[in-house]
Amino acid sequence: MLSQSSEHHQTNLFGSDLLMQLDPTDPLLQLSDVIPWHDFEQEFSKYYTKNIGAPSKPIRLMVGLLLLKSLRNLSDESVVIQWKENVYYQAFCGMTEFQQSAPCHATELVHFRKRIGKDGFQKIFKMSVSLHGKHALESVVNIDTTVQEKNITYPTDAKLAIKIINRLNKLAKYYGIQQRRTFIKEVKNLRLDLRHFRHVKKRKKAVRALKRLRTIANALIRELRRRLPCFALFEQNQSDFLFYEKVLNQKRKDKNKVYSLHEPQVYCMAKGKDHVQYEYGNKVSVASTAKSNIIVGVVSHPKNIYDGATLEEVLEHIEITRDKKVLKAVCDRGYRGKKMVNETEIILPSKGLKKDNRYQRDKKRKQCQRRAAIEPIIGHLKSDFRLSRNFLKGEVGDEINLLMAATAWNLKKWLNLFFVLHFIAKLFRQNLLITGLRRNADQITLFHALNLCFIRLRYIIGLSGTFFKG
């Protein structure tokens, strides 16, 4: 049932309002003031019933926890614990009094993600783009692709066979089937023999162990098919048995291989990296504005397709997000073969044309040089905003994790901009005070005071390294 949200900051009997005890210039509190929480409550209220069931957690609380989780690179369990310990987190989520208990169980975030789905997270991402106003409406964007790795172990045929055997034994135990043999002890010894794949002289022993594991798995499948209690249970598990047989029969050079039992949609990609030859997950496209580096479009691709074939989806997503088409898209040479997509011009690094004058050649070269700015953006998405390893399940989880990482980047940009502007205003006030005291003695003008402010600002930013281009 949909809970009733309270927007009134009423003081309690023994204390004052929570916001009155905090620093009003804190970036998180300033961000909470500009986020349209009421719009989220109206959009997501349709996913709840009106008068049936127990009251749910407030929508602002759940959305705020998801934003903090992505901004601070936390897990579901960690963000719930830190929310209880951090009073600014509580104020960000709309609390008017200090809470001494956890806001919810960590699994509530899982249920809320399933409830609002991809469309709900698309609305959250669109909000993060709209916060930047006209800076997000640039006509030129930079586009690149990367790999969002899934949270799976390194796939080998032996690992998959052992997991299938363990699943089949659990299934037999669940239905109370007395097996002729579970092969647990033999599988333990075969696991040790598999280590010989590293040694050239002992590799035959490892190959025999792998073949024996596949034989054991097929024997268990046949036994369960014969001995399941009734025909309905056989039909219910038949799809799993066929899936296991497909995994056991796949060869090294087969196409559309299965690399994980719990994430069968994962595919293998080779991006030409020296330290990581192969990556297992899904390909994603990221589009950012050329000057301000705001992410305006992200797309998760269910198949490993050629980079040029991803452009149409990305450009469509950009138009949906900011309600404006892209005039030029600057890409790398992985997109070669594409010059126009719908009404968007695709710019690739190449030698200047003879018909171009010097201004046109210099402009094109600078645009291609500026395209490299998207590479560190992707690096920050992976290292700071949970894009390096996706813990959410299925293709929907791939899309949600990508949208939240991009949302966190845009909100972080807004926080950095607020920090710089607040710092400038603080210096400006301090120098005006000094100017007023020394006006009669030193004759320092307002222009000199402003100049001194910016000189100090440049010096401090150069030392701290917190300044960002755009």
Tell me: do 133 and 123 sit in the same domain: no
Write phi, then psi, for 198 (nearest 5 degrees).
-75, -25
State whether 147 and 161 are in the same domain.
no
Based on the domain organization, do 201 and 297 belong to the same domain? no
Last residue of a domain, one of 199, 225, 249: 249
Lowest mean pLDDT among 193-202, 217-226, 329-338: 193-202
pLDDT, tens digit, for every residue of 363-396? 888 888 889 999 999 999 999 999 999 999 999 9
Q: Are residues 136 and 89 in the same domain?
A: no
Residue listed under structure tokens 């009997």: 13
Measured between alpha carbons, how far is 157 from 161 in angstroms, rounded to an integer?
6
* Residue 269 shares a structural domain with residue 326: yes
pTM for this entry: 0.86
pLDDT per residue as tens digits for the range 38-97: 999 999 999 998 877 788 899 999 999 999 999 999 999 999 999 999 999 999 999 988
Number of domains in the chain: 4
Query: From CA 330, how far away is CA 131, in angstroms rounded?
Result: 24
Determine the average pLDDT of the residues in 291-317: 94
- Same domain, yes or no, for 118 and 141? no
Same structural domain, 27 and 123:
yes
| Dihedral angle of Cα 376, 370, 349, 365, to the nearest 10 degrees | -160
Range with the poorest average pLDDT among 6-10, 187-191, 246-250: 6-10
Tell me: do 45 and 183 sit in the same domain: no
Domain end call among 346, 367, 399:
399
SS3 content of the chain, % helix, strand, coil (to 5): 60, 10, 35
What mean pLDDT do residues 427-433 have?
61
Instruction: Report d(CA 350, CA 75) in Å as an integer.
Output: 44
pLDDT at 405 over 70: yes
pLDDT tens-digit profile of 316-334?
Answer: 999 999 999 999 999 998 8
411: nearest Cα among 58, 72, 78, 79: 72
Provide the domain limits for residue 333.
128-152+265-399
